[in-house]
Amino acid sequence: MKIAVCVKEVPDTTAEKRIDPSTNRLVRDEGDRMLNEFDKYAVEEAVRLKEAGTADEVILVSLGPEKAVESLRQGLAMGADRLVLVSDASAAGSDYVGTARALAKAIEETGAELVLLGSESTDARSGVLTATLGEVSGRTWVTSANSLAVNGGSITVERQSDDGIDTVEAPLPAVVSVTKAINEPRYPSLKGIMGAKKKPQDVKSLGDIGLGAGDVGEAGAKTKVVGIETPPARTAGQVVKDEGNGAQVIFDYLVEKKLI
Amino acid sequence: MAGILVVAETSGGNFRRVSLETLSKARELTGALGGPLAAVVAGSGISGNAGDLGAYGAEKVFVVDNEALGTGLAAPHVDVIAKLQAENDFSAILVGGTALGRDIAAALAARLGAGLNSDSIDLTANGSALRARRPAFGGQNLVDAEWTSGPAIALVRPNSFPASESGGTAEVVTVTPEISDAALAAKVTARKPAEAGKIGLEEASMIVSGGRGLGAPENFATVEALASALGAAVGASRAAVDAGWYPHPNQVGQTGKTVSPNLYIACGISGAVQHKVGMQTSDVIIAINKDEDAPIFQFADLGVVGDLFEILPQLTDLVKARQG
């Protein structure tokens, strides 16, 4: 069985961001770039399934600028076998559905039966891609897996729902997002890092995967950004030293603010 | 296209607050966007209170009762709502940002080839067009988006709007669901409900969070006691979760949840930027930390430099005394 893992290069969300006022898009060529932290759990789970003999190939699939290869290589260093990156100028400005269409096409070409994702990306933080991708690709999808077992043609997932933890059984092919509870991602070994550079890293255009403008990118997007504001940063309020009255100070503040 | 559909979610027989918040906001928007305002309640064994949504402004409530709609899995809901959309052609579909709501809205956008704005913290009308605002980069920026075609699907972040009654009544329409085999492919075979009375982090209007300063997992009891007195949810910093002191669904921050409660009390949390991006959109932030140089004091509304093991129990007693 082949497993595709959707991965994304993200900016360091803890750094200052700059948005190009002419396009209302994030300037993507500056600052630290990295593999989305949440994706590491999906890569780890896929690599473990390969190590256990359940999977025979782990393919990273991504949509993004060509230079994202450098960040995404970390997934190869963790043990994934190869990378397929869809990179195309006309894919810029894709909405969720457009992004899902591009990933679905690239995944289809890999022949993967199981698709894994992190629960969200640290930049967009929307957590909607699993459902969108599942729907677009016509696969059964399950979000928020705390554990995952593959049994022949089906999977068993313990999923975190709004109301507790549910056991879910679903047939393959399937799309599954994993939570941080599922595993502890490994740090790539030096050997892994050196070996990653030699693993196949294919960059494909939208044409290569049979998509055109209108399916993906700004042309196909059904939402558009009409403005971006930078609110004033929070500033320090009142800071007091506890001299036995700390609890009272907080209590009075809660009462004053009508919070209790 | 005409009208707004609000997806109303229930939990334990009651409507989730975010659904009522969303419905209240939708009622305001019908002035500019046009009505009617409808709601759909889909679940298993639901009954009785669907008409209550009339008090929040729904003119029509579609009630859909089926076992498959009560599993926490979204696919059957998507079939139901897509059919309602085909029959009613709503111009906007608004969904509360719970885990289920997020899955429903995302899959529905794909099914309908529609635009989705996730994590809306404000919804306004630009003429007769819906406009949604969402925070980006941990609240560093606020992004306004509109839709290039309908229906406009928006997820609403909990605690963004007050839930307010308008005193109306709703026509209740019972709908027979048509759920596809594909939507029934994933099956829930066992359920382990969360501890009763525990409040989910994302929906909570108040959160008390603990960090490294708690020193040991058992000390979270101090944080839980205050949370319980306030009726708040319990959060944790990455340091506390990575140390195994508290479960990961409670983590707030860059690699945890993003929350915007009315009140956030950070106990023994230094306030590194990784934590800040997950909670800086809270209305009021109170910090307790023994290190006066902790970064959290640079953005908390009220900071107390002191020993949380002395302050928290006293504060818990004060809150209990007021409410007792």
pLDDT in tens, B265-323: 999 999 999 999 999 989 999 999 999 999 999 999 999 999 999 999 999 999 999 98
The count of structural domains within chain A is 1
Interface test with A, best of B314, B316, B317 (most A CBs within 10 A): B314
A250–B286 C-beta distance less than 8 A:
yes
Complex ipTM, two decimals? 0.92
Q: What percent of chain A has pLDDT over 70?
A: 94
Say what the pLDDT of residue A12 is: 79
Q: How many CB pairs under 8 A join A and B?
A: 272
Residue range(s) of every CATH 3.40.50.1220 domain in chain B: 206-323
Nearest chain A residue (CA) to B309: A247
In this prediction, residues B142-158 reach a mean pLDDT of: 96
Window 229-248 of B: residues touching A by CB (8 A cutoff) are 230, 247-248
* CATH number, span B4-184: 3.40.50.620
The answer to whether position A254 is within a domain reads no
Say what the pLDDT of residue B250 is: 94
Say what the pLDDT of residue B197 is: 66
In this prediction, residues B100-127 reach a mean pLDDT of: 97
Distance from CA of B218 to the nearest CA of A (A): 20
CATH class name, domain B206-323? alpha beta
B89 backbone dihedrals φ, ψ, rounded to 5°: 50, 55
The answer to whether position A199 is within a domain reads yes
The whole-angstrom separation of Cα B147 and Cα B94 is 13
In this prediction, residues B115-125 reach a mean pLDDT of: 96
A131–B102 C-beta distance less than 8 A:
yes
The verdict on whether omega for the bond into residue B36 sits within 30 degrees of 0, i.e. cis, is yes
B75–A14 C-beta distance less than 8 A:
no
With a cut of 50, which residues of chain A have pLDDT below it? Answer: none
Would you say B189 and B158 are in contact if contact means Cβ atoms under 8 Å apart? no
Nearest by CB to residue B188, choosing from A166, A236, A237, is A166
Q: Is residue A59 classed as helix, strand or coil in its secondary structure? A: strand
Cβ within 8 Å of residue B12, ≥6 positions away: none
The whole-angstrom separation of Cα A116 and Cα A35 is 15
Q: Which amino acid is at B238?
A: R
Interface test with A, best of B137, B179, B237, B305 (most A CBs within 10 A): B137
Distance from CA of B217 to the nearest CA of A (A): 17
CATH number, residue A130: 3.40.50.620
Residue B103 pLDDT exceeds 60: yes
Give pLDDT tens digits for B270-280.
Answer: 999 999 999 99
CA–CA distance from B188 to each of A142, A204, B41, B185, B213 (Å)?
A: 11, 38, 20, 10, 39
Who has greater pLDDT, A21 or B119?
A: B119
Give pLDDT tens digits for B29-72.
Answer: 999 999 999 999 999 988 778 999 999 999 999 999 999 999 99
pTM: 0.93
Range of the domain at A99: 2-220
Average pLDDT value for chain B: 95
The answer to whether position A128 is within a domain reads yes
